[in-house]
Amino acid sequence: GSIPGGLRPDDIVVQNLKIDYCKKDKNPVDLCNFYRNATDTVKFKIPKEKVGFGIPAVFMVRKVRVFSRRSEDVYVNAARVAFEEYMKKNITTEDTEYATPVKSTRKRAKRLSHMPTYPEGGDV
């Protein structure tokens, strides 16, 4: 298969990151015990309402990054458009952010030329 703009699947690198507190979407503080002082042996829990602003509302963040091995603008733009369309159709939520920063093409091409290739249809 091909991607609009003449890209081939092996021209694209997808990085799928999941950042969490090792408890997926659970609040890590719910799994902690608290003590009044260092010598206390009686543990207790702190309700989320009493912790205040120190606890985030979201406990897991996903980042999907797409790179083009080809540095020509037509290929980079085709990869960007394909990625944004895929996200809009399949992944978008209220807090989805799209960013396509412009990088130095010379540095990007050199860096991506060393990345592994995957067979067509293979999982990345």
Tell me whether residue 63 is exposed, middle or buried, using C-beta atoms within 10 angstroms of its C-beta: 0 to 12, 13 to 18, 19 or more: exposed
Domain contains 46:
yes
Give the C-alpha separation, 63 to 18, whole Å: 6
* Continuous segment of H or E residues that includes residue 82: helix 73-90
Q: Which residue has the higher pLDDT, 57 or 2?
A: 57
pLDDT the model gives residue 92: 65
- Domain tally, the chain: 1
Q: What is the domain range of residue 105?
A: 9-112
Predicted TM-score (pTM) of the model is 0.50
Tell me whether residue 3 is exposed, middle or buried, using C-beta atoms within 10 angstroms of its C-beta: 0 to 12, 13 to 18, 19 or more: middle
Domain contains 78:
yes
pLDDT tens digits along 28-74: 777 788 898 989 999 998 877 776 666 666 677 788 888 888 888 88
Domain contains 41:
yes
